[in-house]
Copies of this chain bind each other. A is one copy, B any other.
Amino acid sequence: MKKFIDSADTLLETSLRGFAAAHADILYLEEQPTFIRRLRRKAGKVAVISGGGSGHEPLHAGFVGTGMLDAACPGQIFTSPTPDQMLAAAEAVDGGAGVLFIVKNYAGDVMNFEMAAELLALPNASVLVSDDAALPKTHGIGRRGVAGTLVVEKIVGAAAEAGLDLAACRALGERAASVTASIGVALSSCTVPALGKPTFHLAEDEMELGVGIHGERGVATQAMAPASEICRQLCDLLAAELQVQTGQAILLHVNGFGATPLVELYAMYQLAADYWRGKQAVVARSLAGNFTTSLDMAGCSITVTLLDDELTRYWDAPVHTAALRW
C-alpha cells in the first residue's frame, strides 16, 4: 500500500482538519464528537444533515454549505458514524424548524441515524437513499445508497434553504430518491488503509460490475470492454429501472470512484449522453467528476434522475460548498 498517510489511525483526523482549514470560509470542524458544520447559519430553516463512513470524499462534508447540508457526520473509513455525532450535529444546527437526516441505506448508518432520531424524539426525521440498481429491489436489506445521494442532498438542501417545512423537505427528498438510480463498475479494487491491501482482486482483463462504494465485490466479474460497451450495459440497466419516456428530462451524473481521471469520465459522460438521447430523453442537467468516491478505486458510476420542473428548480438553486458551487 502506497498512500500519503502517517498511519491509518491518524489519516482521517488529519484530513478533516486540513479540509476544514482549506474551506474555513464555508464550514468548520467540531471535534469530540466529530462533525462538520456550515459557517453561515440561516435562521428558521430545516436543518439538513447527512453522514456516513469516510473514504467517499467529497461526499458528504464537501456538500456542507449554503444551499445544501447544514452538517455532515463522518465515520471512520467505510464505517458508520455514531449516534453521538448525529446528536451533537443536530443540536448544533437545529434552527427551530426541525432536522432532516439524509441517510444512505447501509445497516450501520440506518441503525445509528435511527438511534439518534429516537434520542432526539424526532419521528419521520430521515430520507433514505437506496439508488444502487445493481441489487434487485427485493434485496433483503434493500438497495445501497450510492452516488445518487448527492442529488437528493442537493435538492433537499435547496428546498430547505428556500424555506420549505420539514414535511415538505422530506417528501421532496423521498420523491427525488424514488426517481434516481445508479449503477457502477470498477476497474480496480480500493485499498482500505487499515487493511493495507486491495479488498478484492481483478485481473488485467477484468472489470467488476455493480460495485458499491466500500470496496466490496459487485454482482459480476466480467471481461474488460470498450467504454461504449460498458456505458451501454450500465445505461441499459438504468433504462430498465427508470421508465424513461420520450422527451423525459434527465439529470445525468457520471461519478468517478477516486482514481479515474477526468479525461475518461467526460468521455463516459459523452457516451452516456448519446445513449440517453438515443432513448429520446433530454439530457437537461449534467454533472461529471469524482464526487462519491471509494478511496483509490478506479471506476465510475452513472446516475440518472428523472427531472420535473420542481426538481430542476431545486437542482439549479445556488449552492456554495467545497465541492459543488453554482
Q: Which of B7, B11, B267, B325 contacts A4 (CB 8 A)?
A: B267
CA of A230 to CA of B4 in the docked complex: distance in angstroms? 8
Contact with B along A223-242 (1 / 0, CB 8 A): 01011101000000000000
CA of A207 to CA of B226 in the docked complex: distance in angstroms? 31
B2 touches A298 (CB 8 A): yes
CB under 8 Å from chain B, chain A span 117-176: none
B295 touches A18 (CB 8 A): no
A275 at interface by CB-CB < 8 Å: no
CA of A271 to CA of B15 in the docked complex: distance in angstroms? 9
- Chain B residue numbers with a CB within 8 Å of A57 are 261-263, 266
Contact with B along A187-216 (1 / 0, CB 8 A): 110000000000000001001000000000
Q: Which of B62, B261, B268, B325 contacts A259 (CB 8 A)?
A: B261
Q: Give A107 Cβ to nearest chain B Cβ, in Å.
A: 23
Closest to A296 in B: B261
Q: Give A9 Cβ to nearest chain B Cβ, in Å.
A: 12
- Chain B residue numbers with a CB within 8 Å of A19 are 262, 266, 269, 288
A293 at interface by CB-CB < 8 Å: yes
- Chain B residue numbers with a CB within 8 Å of A298 are 2, 259, 296
Most buried by B among A11, A187, A263: A263
CB under 8 Å from chain B, chain A span 279-305: 283, 286-288, 290, 293, 295-296, 298, 300
The main secondary structure of chain A at its interface with chain B is mixed
B2 touches A188 (CB 8 A): yes
Closest to A55 in B: B263
Q: Which of B14, B62, B204, B325 contacts A2 (CB 8 A)?
A: B204
Question: Can you list 20 pairs linking A and B with CB atoms under 8 Å apart?
Answer: A2-B298, A4-B187, A5-B226, A7-B226, A11-B267, A12-B263, A14-B227, A14-B266, A18-B268, A18-B273, A19-B262, A19-B269, A19-B288, A22-B286, A55-B263, A58-B262, A259-B296, A259-B298, A261-B295, A261-B296
Residues in A lying within 8 Å of B, measured CB to CB? 2-7, 11-12, 14-19, 21-23, 54-55, 57-58, 62, 77, 187-188, 204, 207, 224, 226-228, 230, 258-271, 273, 283, 286-288, 290, 293, 295-296, 298, 300, 325-326
